[in-house]
Structure 1
Amino acid sequence: MSPIIEVLKETLKRAIGKRDYKTIEKIIIKTHKGDIAEVFKYLKKEERKILMLTLIKSNIQKAANVFQDLEEDIKSELLRNLSSKDLTNLLNNLPVNEIVKIIDHIPDDVRDIILKNLEKEKIEELEELEQLLTTNEDNIASIIREDYLSINENITVQEALEIVKNTDKEIEILYIYVVDDKNRLIGVVSLKELIASPGNILVKDTMTRELITVSINATKEEAIDIFKRYDLYILPVINDEEELVGVIYIEDIIDVISEKTTEDFFKMAGAKEEELFYQDKTFKIAKLRMPWLLTATFGEFITAIIISFFSFTIEQFLPIIFFLPMVAALSGNISSQAAIITARGLKEGRLSE
């Protein structure tokens, strides 16, 4: 834990313990969302609830931003413990793609709570997104963001800069996308280029027409490959009509890679990611692990039966018994190594399927 997070944690714990909400609000206003999200990991269950409630009541948008940065088990815990009213306020300030990510990684009971508390418009957007994801579960739709800036090609640079000035401060503007009258993506201009250009020329005369895009029908793997190949920070998403529908940020791609890695580790261990939401429920975790453990036990039982058929032979070569555990352990290690190398090779394209 860094010294800054340590100080922030202790300060918040004292304020929360005293129920000093004014101090908590002051700290929230001055502190970056990423640091607040980091502190959540070191707070107790009740302390996390109080901090999130204070966030929701004092700055709902910041609460939503902090929530997106939290670890999945903490998200699930908060979703279970917030009231319907607070849950409604929080969820309705989250982007639809974040709600989809939450729904994809939480138990059914928490999912039901979410769907009951969404606004009608959010539910409609969610249904459209889920319909797209039903066609392909690995579709990029769940990581597309709408916090970008697009402008028409026929306005002047001066008019474009006025639009930039009036844009929501939450939107990070490094690149501005240029569209035609039919909202088709035709170019891009950086904020630096826009500022350096004469104010009376048209945006289309200063924009770059060569840009990298990805189709809304693409998979997350394809998006990851594009980010790697072109070393991108942000990637515009277009539909079949070449209309701009959103963007994907590098941080979302990093999250996808992390999720896939975590998923692979769980599969290799014969466990389920759902365990993260039941850390304090031993029997629930045991139930989730039981299928894999029973399968392994059955396999070992078959091995024992096969060995028993050769008991007479083994009796004649008694020293062999001492090597059985070593052979069993080595075979397990070799198979694990082979599985990891093969899976990684397929993932990186070094091996063909």
Structure 2
Amino acid sequence: MRPRQNHHTETAEQHLVTRIPTAQIEEEVGAVIARLPEKGFDALEAVYIVDEKERLQGFLPLSVLFATRRHRRLREVMAPPPPAVHADVDQERVVGLAVRHNLTAVPVVGPDRRLLGVVPAQALLQILRREHVENLHRLAGIRRETASARNAMEAPPDPPDP
């Protein structure tokens, strides 16, 4: 996916998390499951299958991973790589891709297709919220969003006085 040329946009890189589960294509499902608890992850929606140069080859949602017989090799059960974005792609395009392809996280790759990380589900929700508020501002005629205007739109309401 090509980046939109705008220097004032928020990008995939700003939402990128890098501690995600990866595995090699020839690994067995059981070996991948066994090492999951050993590491702390920033996002845990799927295992991303990479080659020896860390290029994205496919993925396996955790729900499928845990339902698969432990002796199976990842190459036998993985899904093809999901659509991915480059780090400089506008955040709106990242969310659009997630919605169109029903992704809970969007992989971010370098020019050589090396997996850099993902934009996780929580970030996708935050982006959707922020874009919604920006659209409301535009509809209301607010041209320049200030921190106080954003806070007024995004903050929960104050509790009523007793």
TM-score, reference length from structure 1: 0.36
In the TM superposition, what whole-angstrom CA distance separates every residue of 1:5-50 from its partner, at most 9, and x where no partner exists? xxxxxxxxxxxxxxxxxxxxxxxxxxxxxxxxxxxxxxxxxxxxxx
For residue 249 of structure 1, what is the aligned residue in structure 2? Answer: 120
Higher strand share: 2
Distance in structure 1 (CA, Å) of the matches to 2:121 and 2:61: 17
Give the AA of the match of 2:147: E
Match of 1:142 among 2, 6, 14: 14
How far the C-alpha of 1:248 sits from its partner, in A, is: 1.2
RMSD over aligned Cα atoms: 2.9
Aligned to 1:227: 98
By how many angstroms is 1:181 displaced? 0.5
Gaps of 5+ in 2: 1-5, 153-162
One-letter amino acid of the structure 2 residue matched with residue 191 of structure 1 = L
* Unmatched tracts of structure 1, length 5 or more: 1-134, 280-353
**Matched-pair identity in %:** 15
**Which of 158, 178, 190 is the equivalent residue of 2:61?**
190
Conserved in 2, the CA contact under 8 Å of 1:263 and 1:273?
no
Given that 2:110 and 2:116 are in contact with CA atoms closer than 8 Å, whether structure 1 keeps it comes out as yes
The equivalent of 1:152 in structure 2 is: 24
Query: Which 4+ stretches in 1 moved above 4 angstroms?
Result: 264-267
CA deviations on 1:130-187 (whole Å, 9 max, x unpaired) are xxxxx7432221111224211122222221111113122x544331100010000001
Residue identity opposite 1:269 in structure 2: I
Displacement of 1:188: 0.7
In our comparison, the structure showing a higher alpha carbon Rg is 1
CA shift digits 1:36-76 (9 cap, x unpaired): xxxxxxxxxxxxxxxxxxxxxxxxxxxxxxxxxxxxxxxxx
Amino acid at match of 2:128: I
In 1, distance between residues paired with 2:131 and 2:69? Answer: 46
- Choose from 77, 93, 111 the match for 1:206: 77
The 1:264/1:194 distance shift into structure 2, 3 A limit, reads closer
Q: Deviations over 1:246-268 (max 9, x none)?
A: 11123322322322343455562
Question: For the structure 1 residues 215 and 143, does the alpha-carbon distance in structure 2 shift closer, same or farther, using more than 3 Å as the test?
Answer: same
Name whichever structure is richer in helix by fraction: 1
Paired residues in the alignment total 145
Distance 1:230 1:152 in 2: 24
